[in-house]
Chains A and B, each alone.
Chain A
Amino acid sequence: AQSVSQHNHHVILSEAASLELGCNYSYGGTVNLFWYVQYPGQHLQLLLKYFSGDPLVKGIKGFEAEFIKSKFSFNLRKPSVQWSDTAEYFCAVIRNSGNTPLVFGKGTRLSVIA
């Protein structure tokens, strides 16, 4: 079965620190990859997505992620976090065949302190 692993449950960073959140998936076929963010009390928002092409994708709010096929990874990065980045981050994977559901990781809570 397809699964998505997010290595960090809770990450605490100071403002201006660099961020990297890990995400690995288990499915061996072609996949589409996503990172979603959920700010406190709000709905899911799409940060970025990878379908094909350049494995380094840039999203909103200065986030980027790199797809490394050999490692089945899609780590999220941001060079300098802000207090407003405090949120829950979810990695998600969907098989690129048929109308299959999105499978989410358990999420990583990011707390940015001043």
Chain B
Amino acid sequence: GAVVSQHPSRVICKSGTSVKIECRSLDFQATTMFWYRQFPKQSLMLMATSNEGSKATYEQGVEKDKFLINHASLTLSTLTVTSAHPEDSSFYICSARPHTGDSPLHFGNGTRLTVT
């Protein structure tokens, strides 16, 4: 079945540094990928919609200059958390679905970001 791979699964960085998270669709092409964030004991909140070959669409309240999204190919989207701060510590999850028929959204395994 369709698989979404996310890397890294866990990252610890110092405040002020930048972190890049990759999301790949392994056996299908995804013109659109979605980035979610989950704070502890909370639900998943959509951060942005990543569109291949064009600018990402950000949800209200999400800083586009802080969370840079690049969807360079049909199988890869990256999320870069720039100048990370401790409040950015969260669980980041990407998702995509094959653009054919009734297919569910497939999720990556997520990235646990801890900013110290």
Contacts and interface: CB of A to CB of B under 8 A. Distances in A.
Contacts, number: 44
Given A107-B42, A107-B43, A94 B105 contact: yes
Given A101-B46, A101-B49, A104-B45, 7 more contacts: A32-B104, A34-B104, A44-B107, A96-B102, A102-B34, A102-B95, A106-B43
A112 interface: no
Contacts of A43: 107, 109-110
A83 interface: no
Given A104-B43, A106-B42, A99 B107 contact: no
A90 B43 contact: yes
B43 A105 contact: yes
A46 interface: yes
